[in-house]
Amino acid sequence: MNAIPVPELQHRTVLLDEAVDALALDGARASGTYIDGTFGRGGHSRLILSKLAPDGRLIAFDKDPQAIATAEQIGDPRFSIVHDSFATMVEALAERGVTQVDGILLDLGISSPQVDDASRGFSFRNDGPLDMRMDTTRGISAAEWLATVPEQQLEKVIRDYGEERFAFQIAKAIAARRSVEPISSTRQLAAIVANAVKTREKGKDPATRTFQAVRIFINKELEDLEAGLSAAYALLAPAARMSVISFHSLEDRMVKQFLASKAKVEQPDRRLPIRAVDLPQPLMKLISKTKPSGPEVEANPRARSAVLRVAERLGGRA
């Protein structure tokens, strides 16, 4: 089978080669079954398909209807797309008769087309409706949530999900404004935050952390990540690998702690009469941690915060 070319896309896929190479798609492994948990605009999926053998299989997931539309243009019998969160991968694969896979890739970043499309409401740089939903077919928009959320809960979300030290002032300002008029556009929200935050890191817009916090909450990103990591581990066959790319400290901390919990075991008291062969063994092996190179960050500034962590499933006992 001829290799599938990886096209130049509007979205620059971060750590493209590094994340796919880490899956070790060579030899017999090229005939395996793989998961791309976040299809996005298909950069990772297309590269994986270019390395798969004719009898290999790739199943991708995404919540974004626009990503699904892009995925449906891939005319490859080895490929299928699921319109849902990667958190549902165990159930979705069971419906397809799959109980184990040979590798999983999760790219947790929001795609450039999502950010650059003002109508999606993810960015404060261009005015648009305050939506922020990854899946525009379900759930409530950011505007609807901001209209009714209690002020104390709003403060907690901005503080915890945005790591914003001015969460109290921002929540108070939002509550005051919504009592006068609906907050329905990204420009409105950005202006409210800018007026409430008097100091900010050099080169960073005052609204950055608040927009991140609201987006994470609306899309249940951290809940999905927690469930998705557990689901991914449950599906990995022995010697199968997981590549995870995160873009902010909350995600990376969760990934790091999850992988570390599988790579370490509590050792019993050395004074107990336990044979070495019966000692508990780690369940995963940490392979690597990679950040984008200087040239990649220069070509794509949105890559600067990315971290790729790779781990391999072992056959050990807990």
Domain end, chosen from 218, 246, 262, is at 218
Confidence of residue 275 (pLDDT cuts 50, 70, 90): low
Domain containing residue 148: 136-218
Residues 159 and 305 in one domain: no
Which pLDDT score, from 0 to 100, does residue 2 have? 39
- Tell me if 42 is assigned to a ligand binding site: yes
284 lies in some domain: yes
| Same domain for 201 and 245 | no
The percent of residues above 90 in pLDDT, for the chain, comes to: 79
Determine the distance from the C-alpha atom of residue 274 to the mean position of all C-alpha atoms in its chain, rounded to a whole number. Answer: 41
pLDDT in tens, 47-59: 999 999 999 999 9
What is the per-residue pLDDT for 250?
95
pLDDT digits (tens, 9 = 90+) for 118-145: 999 998 888 999 999 999 999 999 999 9
Does the annotation flag 203 for ligand binding?
no
Question: Which one is predicted more confidently, 241 or 7?
Answer: 241
- 139 annotated binding-site participant: no
Does 103 carry a binding-site annotation? Answer: no
- Shared-domain flag, residues 154 and 189: yes
Strand order in the sheet with 33-36: 79-83, 57-62, 33-36, 101-107, 236-246, 307-313, 284-290
Same domain flag for 143 and 185: yes
How long a stretch of residues is the chain?
Answer: 318
146, 210: one domain:
yes
* CATH number for the domain that contains residue 160: 1.10.150.170
On whether the CB atoms of residues 201 and 195 are closer than 8 A, the answer is no
User: For residue 254, what are its two tokens?
Assistant: 């969760």
64 & 30 share domain: yes
Same domain, 108 and 56: yes
One-letter amino acid at 292 equals P
Q: In the chain, how many H helices and how many E strands?
A: 13, 7
What's the rounded mean pLDDT across residues 239-268? 91
What is the domain-level CATH number for residue 62? 3.40.50.150
- 86: annotated binding-site residue? yes
- Predicted TM-score (pTM) above 0.85: yes
> In the chain, how many domains are there?
2
d(CA 118, CA 251): 25
Same domain, 284 and 226: yes
Q: Is 100 annotated as a binding residue?
A: no
Same domain, 226 and 309: yes
32-81 pLDDT per residue, tens? 999 999 999 999 999 999 999 999 999 999 999 999 999 999 999 999 99
43 is an annotated ligand-binding site residue: yes
